[in-house]
Amino acid sequence: MPMLRCSATTCVYNEEQLCSKGDIKVNGSDAKYADETSCASFRERSGDSAKNSCGCGCKTIDVDCKACECVHNANEKCAADSIDIAGVNACECQDTKCGTFSCK
C-alpha cells in the first residue's frame, strides 16, 4: 500500500493531510495528465460532516486506480511507494487530482 499525503483538507476524511477512510479510488480512465484524474472518494466537509467521525488518518492506504495509463497502475491498484492527492479548497471530487500520476 502506498504512503498517502492529501492536501484536500476540505475532505471529511482528511486528518492532518492523511486519509481516515481506509481506502480510496482514483478516477481517470482516459487520463493522460494528472489534471484529468480525481479522488472519487472525496466528500466535502459541511454541516453535519464538518467534523470527521471516521477516526485517525492512515499513513498507508489501499488505492483502487482507474487511471489505466499511469505508470503506477498495476491491475487497477496503485503500486507507487507514495501518492499525493492534491485539492486545496476542493468542493467536489473533480477539484482533486492524483499528483503522482505519470503517463506511460
Tens digit of each residue's pLDDT (9 = 90 or more) over 65-93: 999 999 999 999 999 999 999 999 999 99
pLDDT at 44 over 80: yes
pLDDT at 27 over 70: yes
C-alpha cell of 35?
A: 489534471
> How many structural domains compose the chain?
1
Q: Is residue 104 part of a domain?
A: no
Q: Given this model, what pLDDT does residue 55 score?
A: 62
* Distance between CA atoms of residues 99 and 53, nearest Å: 26
Q: Is residue 36 part of a domain?
A: yes
C-alpha cell of 23?
A: 481506502
Q: Is residue 43 part of a domain?
A: yes
Q: Is residue 66 part of a domain?
A: yes
pLDDT at 50 over 60: no
> Strand pairing of 23-27 and 62-65?
parallel
Whole-structure pTM value: 0.89
pLDDT at 51 over 90: no
Which domain range does residue 20 map to? 3-98
Give the pLDDT mean for 25-44: 97
Q: Given this model, what pLDDT does residue 49 score?
A: 55
Q: Is residue 82 part of a domain?
A: yes
Q: Given this model, what pLDDT does residue 58 score?
A: 82
Q: Given this model, what pLDDT does residue 54 score?
A: 58
